[in-house]
């Protein structure tokens, strides 16, 4: 499974708050059973958006 870009709290301001493009953030955790289905849909969106939308995953247990 391809991974989306994962970032930390340090990246939040630059990658989300200051971004001019629309941003989709997926908050995920290893115990989340919907992660696999949601990840596939986000990967499709990422391919279709062709750079017009930024898509990230936040690893909630490690988000600091």
Nearest alpha-carbon partner for 56 in 64, 45, 48? 45
For residue 64, give Cα distances in angstroms to 7, 15, 17, 25: 10, 15, 16, 16
Fold of 5-62: Glutaredoxin (3.40.30)
State how far the Cα of 54 lies from the Cα of 33, in Å rounded to an integer: 24
State how far the Cα of 19 lies from the Cα of 26, in Å rounded to an integer: 16
pTM metric for this prediction: 0.68
pLDDT given for residue 60 in this prediction: 76
pLDDT in tens, 2-60: 456 667 777 788 888 888 999 888 887 777 777 767 878 888 888 898 889 888 877 77
Beta bridge partners of 52: none
Domain boundaries, the chain: 5-62
């Amino acid at each position: 499974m391809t991974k989306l870009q994962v970032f930390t709290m340090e990246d939040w301001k630059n990658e989300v708050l200051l971004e001019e493009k629309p941003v989709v953030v997926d908050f995920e955790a290893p115990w989340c059973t919907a992660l696999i289905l949601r990840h596939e849909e986000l990967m499709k969106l990422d391919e279709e958006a062709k750079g017009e939308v930024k898509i990230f995953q936040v690893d909630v247990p490690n988000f600091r």
